[in-house]
Chain A
Amino acid sequence: MSTTDAGDPSAADIAKGFADGREESLAEAYRRWSGLVYTLALRSVNDRGDAEEITQQVFVSAWRGRAGFDPETGTLGSWLVGVARHRIADHHAARTRHRRNVEAVIPAAAVSSGDEDRLVDRVVLADELDRLDDPRRTILKLAFYEDQTYSQIAEQLDLPLGTVKSHVRRGLLYLRTRLKEVTGDAS
């Protein structure tokens, strides 16, 4: 269930090369996960410049700290999401400290960890959805992004209604598995 071609390195191959310190695996990891990391940062800090800086920090610190990554115990995607969450939390903490120093009376905008969890889940799901094969990807996008009904999708793509329903159902179950792999928990 992936759009990866036979000639593309798999996520597992990238992870192994990354752990082994191969520079091209860092480039591959960036190609595969930079959209996810950047979108996560952007949605959390709401500033493009800061999100770019966080993305840079995530890949630099992940590469420098790659000794701490074990491909046997987790996926690289999951590890990078973990690194990103730390960097984003650091950013919020620094901003809060700054605000306290500047204007002690204004309470800092708290970012609850529940909100962050939900954001991570949503971005990971969007990323995984994009990697589905068609027609499932198109069907799920129409259902989730455009809130189209099963019959609207069936008509638009000229597919039987049952096929559309089945793709959405199985797509959701597949996304549940992928989300667990990346975040360790679907809820």
Chain B
Amino acid sequence: MTHLDDETLAQWALDDLEPSPEATGHLTTCADCRGRLDELRHLADLSHDLPHLEVPPPEVWERIAAELGHEDGATRTAEPLAQQPSAVVVRTNRRALVLAASIAAILGLGAGVLGTRLIDNSKDVATTQAAIKLEPLEGKSGDGTADLVRIGTGAELRVTASGLPAPRGFYEVWLINQDGKRMVSLGVLSPGTVGTYQIPADATGQGYRIVDISLEPDDGNPEHSHDSIIRGTLPT
């Protein structure tokens, strides 16, 4: 008899099946096939006892960067920027984007101060600039809302979601640039609550207009999972 193929052995291991009489005869004489079957049985056994991966808190990376004296190391990983979750992926230089975001914040600050002066003592008054609905992507369920609110010199995005599938993992809110190249993570969203996220005042003017909620596995990977659930686009 020829050797037993891996797929057959894998099926026996997974389903805890006894090999056919003919195969049993072969297995008693062939150490190679017997070894592979034992190995696959062990693997199938381990596979039904897998831990969920956990992510270390962000301070761990900051401590590593600090201990090694890597000045901008913390920025690189702590700044959770990822790529557009589409088939065409264009990677952006992270530092350039951080810089762009800082500039956006400064520009936004200037515009905000001017605006505040014009409307006098409205410094702490929240003004809703836009309110949009978040719609499910094809094949997904759930919906939500996103309000762009201007407060004094800054801006906030207030996000709600409902009817999302009960996840393994967590929901994350992203602001995606319409250039299709850049995105920024705003943070985690608990369904049923209002998530409030600070954003650069001029984010929409910079093209960051797509509000995206993704389901993220607990896998330690800070980038977008490519599993977007609901989405909407802020007006300019």
Q: 5 A-B pairs, CB-CB below 8 angstroms?
A: A27-B76, A39-B52, A51-B56, A125-B50, A172-B10
Which of chain B's residues have a CB closer than 8 A to the CB of A43? 51
Residues of A within 8 A of B (CB): 3, 5-8, 23-24, 26-27, 30-32, 34-36, 38-39, 42-43, 51-52, 55-56, 59-60, 63-64, 118, 121-123, 125-127, 129-130, 140-141, 144-145, 147, 165, 168-170, 172-173, 175-176, 179, 186-187
CB pair B10–A169 under 8 Å, yes or no, is yes
Residues of B within 8 A of A (CB): 6-7, 10-11, 13-14, 38-40, 42-44, 46-57, 59-61, 63-64, 67-68, 70, 73, 76-77, 83, 89-91, 168, 217, 219-223, 226
A6-B89, A126-B52 known; A38+B60 contact, CB < 8 A: yes
A122 to B67 CA separation, bound complex (whole angstroms):
30
Contact of A27 among B7, B40, B73 (CB under 8 A): B73
CB pair B73–A26 under 8 Å, yes or no, is yes
A23-B70, A173-B7 known; A39+B54 contact, CB < 8 A: yes
A34 to B53 CA separation, bound complex (whole angstroms):
10
Which of chain B's residues have a CB closer than 8 A to the CB of A52? 56-57, 59-60
A7 to B55 CA separation, bound complex (whole angstroms):
23
Which of chain A's residues have a CB closer than 8 A to the CB of B57? 52
Interface centre among B10, B42, B73, B89 (most CB of A within 10 A): B10
A12 to B90 CA separation, bound complex (whole angstroms):
20
CB pair B55–A34 under 8 Å, yes or no, is yes
A186 to B73 CA separation, bound complex (whole angstroms):
35
Which of chain B's residues have a CB closer than 8 A to the CB of A125? 43, 46-47, 50
Which of chain A's residues have a CB closer than 8 A to the CB of B40? 172-173, 176
CB pair B73–A118 under 8 Å, yes or no, is no
A7-B89, A30-B64, A55-B60 known; A173+B6 contact, CB < 8 A: yes
CB pair A172–B73 under 8 Å, yes or no, is no
Q: Determine how close the nearest CB of chain A comes to the CB of B66; give it in whole angstroms.
A: 10
Which of chain B's residues have a CB closer than 8 A to the CB of A6? 89
CB pair A35–B70 under 8 Å, yes or no, is no
Q: Determine how close the nearest CB of chain A comes to the CB of B89; give it in whole angstroms.
A: 4
A5-B89, A172-B47, A187-B42 known; A56+B222 contact, CB < 8 A: no
Chain B residue nearest to A5 (CB atoms) is: B89
A3 to B217 CA separation, bound complex (whole angstroms):
13
Which of chain A's residues have a CB closer than 8 A to the CB of B68? 26, 60, 63-64
A114 to B216 CA separation, bound complex (whole angstroms):
33
Which of chain B's residues have a CB closer than 8 A to the CB of A141? 168
CB pair A168–B77 under 8 Å, yes or no, is no
CB pair A35–B54 under 8 Å, yes or no, is yes
Which of chain A's residues have a CB closer than 8 A to the CB of B217? 130
Which of chain A's residues have a CB closer than 8 A to the CB of B73? 23, 26-27
A38-B220, A123-B51 known; A169+B38 contact, CB < 8 A: no
Q: Determine how close the nearest CB of chain A comes to the CB of B221; give it in whole angstroms.
A: 7
CB pair B49–A122 under 8 Å, yes or no, is yes
Q: Determine how close the nearest CB of chain B comes to the CB of A54; give it in whole angstroms.
A: 10
Which of chain B's residues have a CB closer than 8 A to the CB of A170? 7, 10
A170 to B11 CA separation, bound complex (whole angstroms):
9
Interface centre among B55, B64, B217 (most CB of A within 10 A): B64
A59 to B221 CA separation, bound complex (whole angstroms):
16
The 4 closest A-B pairs by CB, nearest first: A35-B220, A7-B91, A38-B56, A7-B89
A55 to B67 CA separation, bound complex (whole angstroms):
13
CB pair B53–A127 under 8 Å, yes or no, is yes
Which of chain A's residues have a CB closer than 8 A to the CB of B168? 141, 145
A182 to B131 CA separation, bound complex (whole angstroms):
49
Q: Determine how close the nearest CB of chain A comes to the CB of B99; give it in whole angstroms.
A: 16
Contact of A35 among B39, B56, B59 (CB under 8 A): B56
A129 to B43 CA separation, bound complex (whole angstroms):
13
